[in-house]
Amino acid sequence: MKAGLGTLAVAVGLNGSALGVAVLALGLRRGDERLLVAGRRFVWVVVGAAVAAAGAMEWALVSHDFSLQYVVDNHARATPLLYTIASLWGALEGSILLWALVLGGYLAFAARKFRDRAGDPLVAWATLTGLVVAAFFFGLMIGPANPFHLVGGPTPTDGAGPNPLLQNHPLMAFHPPMLYLGYVGFTVPFMFAIAALVTGRLGEGWLVATRRATLIAWGFLTTGIILGGWWSYEVLGWGGYWAWDPVENASFLPWLTATAYLHSVMVQERRGMLRVWNLSLLVATFALTILGTFLTRSGVINSVHSFTQSAIGPALLGFLGVVVAAGVGLIGWRGDRLRAPGQIDSPVSREGAFLANNVLFAGFAFVVLLGTVFPLVAEALNGRQLSVGEPYFDRMTVPIGIALLFLMAVAPALPWRVASAGVLRRRLAGPAWFAAVTMLGLALAGARGVAQILAFGLGAFAVGGIVRQVVTAVRSRMRADGSGPARALRDVTAGNRRLYGGLIVHVGVVIVAVALAASQGYGVKREFRLSKGESATLNGYRLTFVGRQVTETPQKRTVAARVEVARGGDVLGVYEPAVQIFPNATQAIGTPSVRTGLAEDLYLTLVSSPTDTEEVTIGAAVNPMVLWLWIGGGVMALGTAAAVWPTRRRRAVHPGDGASREGSPPDAWESRSRTLTEAAR
Amino acid sequence: MRLGRWSLVAAGMLAVAALVVAAGSNGTDDSASARVEHLSEQLRCPTCQGLSVADSPASTARAIREDVARRVAAGETDAEIKAAYVDRYGEWILLRPRGSGVAVVVWAVPVAALVLAGAGLAAAFRRWRRQAPAQPTADDRALVERELDERGRVERARSERPEP
């Protein structure tokens, strides 16, 4: 019944998207607006089908319907409800279903936003592209990744339960959906990029229209990546949050190109330049999401994330090929129309900084991509296995990250077109001194490491610059209309949410960078073998093994070592690093116990289970500032939300209005005149 | 302030001084334990999924850490220890590929790409500098006039509107 409903929904989804593509294609060919309007309606068929299919799967999971193979493999009667619901994305087939659901949501979002313009060929081409992508994913569910496969033979009475790693922390319920909301969201700008290329309407209108979708997807992807790091830290028990695992890299790659795009798009809005580059970045971002899914799901790479080997690999690889070929082909074909007349006058200018930013982000993405796929390629070519791991990525990416921090500190202070020495001095001297004094103070106080001190100093530089910028704007507003500081701050920020939201994101990046530098540079880690009642000391923490504790629930058996933690004579509590044994898994899962603090975490793991004679080996680590990684991520998400939030007086801007002046958004005008007045001062 | 034009330079010099202080004392830590730590960061844990021997809690990783400590104590150099592991497990064991053989690609290509990108940018800027700046046409001027008029009207309307 549920399998029937699910299979039907998937079939409707596939046929609906294929029909929609056909109707739109016919309408575009004949120039028949009625067909275009009709074709757009198929988006709702796709949405309905995706909701029905995902609903059928959730229903099957929650009602323990073990006639479905997916439920047998990923669910057990003893699985708690939260992890039961999260099992939808616990394995390959379900995650494709989640992809289709999220894609349906974004297609609906786009269809609703452009409901008045369904007859416009640009919107029709975008919808058509979106429906092609939807057809591909529904096709996967008909073919190699069918979530509604029935069990052969008699229906089992219970299932295996989710992968143990996926059912012992609630973050598992949030990290994958966030990541997918990010990943899949990049389909929207991709759709419009393709539409703009096909129709030849390459003005800035389409880009303004999809800017917000890109930003929303970027915010979700950022959140998803940070939550993934948090999950890894709380669950995997090796003490870190990022291992340059191929699949972590796969989520990071589209983030890098999307971040590059969010910056370079401003050059296009302002100056009409970098059109080819921006389109390439959008196509690359979308292609990298497909590549990431390929790496994650095909089993070509051994990683925590490749749950299954499956036949889905060739399909994804083929689709990736189509996307790249279509993108490159269209950009090449439209090359002549994409030539921009403008020029960048000086490298020391806002647009010059954006160019440098893009070179660095592209280089960053290139290094990560190369390091990720090189072992595969090398093995395919000469059969010898190679590793490219953390030491490589650290060596290559830390300098790039430092350079990006520097740009982040300097670029917002640079005026467009050309920066005079006077303006530079006026805007940067204060923040630069703040940074230098911070660095010297920390170094004299005993902080070590060139990369660390640079990260702290450049972070201070960036925050100093942001404070200066906000204070200057608020002051001039106060002078202009005599309002109080609070009101002026509100007016100023409300008047340009995108700018100030972006600056909040920058503050979040600084927090993350500082936390990365501190936790990577100043951590301490030891192992202790303790018998009952014995103590050990690490960095002022006194760890006493109190005894072992065994808990059994139907879901799992937990063997924990009770460790009393004290510092300076005060008992801080009893922490229980543990090993969990799930009935249907061969491997026991270690679970760390973390004492989280603003300054540092104490991270306890069980290296070997307590024996019957009550002896235990625990791993203890002091990780400075890790909490600030998650806080910084939260600030980045907050800033994105502030930038995305609709402003009240927003003029409607339509995509494809041709010339950039028509499409130029009101806030660009506003900040442009502000830049002028500020520069004149 | 009188520091005037040299203000940014002075701040930069102060920052460099801070870096020198920070780098000074621990530039080369070749104590035995630091060497063991450094080596285990570069060896891949054979039974894990991409973790280094230093990071991994697995028993194999611990055995390798102990073996590395023994070798360091016995006076083997870093290169000798790495070579011993490569002999046993193949190049695969090194998380940082050596700059020889095919692996040279992962080091050389990004550097080459960065140099090319830098050169490309420099060339673009030279070309842009040589181009005469575009002169505004009469159409452009009319457009700007219109837009400024419009803006003036909007601003006036806004300032005349009573505060809510």
- Which single residue is written with the structure tokens 């109080």? A484
* Residue A443 to residue A454: CA distance in whole angstroms: 11
pLDDT, averaged across chain A = 88
How much is the average pLDDT of A263-275?
A: 86
Q: Does A304 touch chain B (CB under 8 A)?
A: yes
The dihedral of CA A639, A645, A651, A653: what is its sign? Answer: positive
Closest approach of chain B CAs to the CA of A301, in angstroms? 10
pTM: 0.89
Output the pLDDT for position A64. 93
H helix or E strand, kind and range, residue A572: strand A570-575
What's A524-628's CATH class? mainly beta
Same domain, B88 and B117: no
Same domain, B88 and B112: no
Listed range (A225-229, A592-596, B36-40) with the worst mean pLDDT: B36-40
Q: Which residues of chain A does B7 touch, with a Cβ-Cβ cutoff of 8 Å?
A: 425, 429, 432-433
- The residue out of B59, B74, B93 marking a domain boundary is B93
Please name every residue paired with A377 in a beta bridge, in sequence order, or none if there are none.
Answer: none
- Does residue A579 have a pLDDT over 70? yes
Residues 236-295 of A with CB under 8 A from B: 237-240, 243-246
* Residue A553 to residue A574: CA distance in whole angstroms: 21
- The residue out of B49, B74, B93 marking a domain boundary is B93
Q: Does A348 touch chain B (CB under 8 A)?
A: no
How much is the average pLDDT of A249-255?
A: 95
Closest approach of chain A CAs to the CA of B151, in angstroms? 10
Residue-range definition of the domain harbouring residue B65? 32-93
B137 found inside a domain:
yes
B149 found inside a domain:
yes
Per the CB < 8 Å rule, is A389 touching B96? yes
B92-135 tens-digit pLDDT? 899 988 877 778 888 999 999 989 988 988 888 888 777 656 66
Model ipTM value: 0.79
- Does residue A663 have a pLDDT over 70? no
CB contacts < 8 A, A to B, total: 171
Q: Categorize the per-residue pLDDT at A650 as very low, low, confident or very high, splitting at 50, 70 and 90.
A: very low
How much is the average pLDDT of A323-340?
A: 86
- Total domain count for chain B? 2
B75 found inside a domain:
yes
% residues pLDDT > 70 (chain B): 85
Residue A577: how many CB atoms within 10 A of its CB?
23
Chain A nearest-CA residue for B96: A392
Chain A nearest-CA residue for B22: A448
Per the CB < 8 Å rule, is B8 touching A424? yes
Q: Which residues of chain A does B124 touch, with a Cβ-Cβ cutoff of 8 Å?
A: 344
Per the CB < 8 Å rule, is A238 touching B110? no
- Does residue A672 have a pLDDT over 50? no
Query: Domain of B80: which CATH number?
Result: 1.10.8.640
Per the CB < 8 Å rule, is A243 touching B51? yes
DSSP conformation letters of A544-563:
EEEEEEEEE-SS-EEEEEEE
Residues 113-142 of B with CB under 8 A from A: 113-114, 117-118, 121, 124-125, 128-129, 131, 133-134
Ranges of H-type helices in A558-665: 627-644, 660-663
Residue A651: how many CB atoms within 10 A of its CB?
8
- Which candidate from B57, B113, B114 shows the least CB-CB separation from A619? B57
- The residue out of B48, B71, B93 marking a domain boundary is B93
- Which candidate from A378, A387, A453 shows the least CB-CB separation from B102? A378
B72 found inside a domain:
yes
Where do you find CATH 2.60.98 in chain A?
Answer: 524-628
Closest approach of chain B CAs to the CA of A523, in angstroms? 12
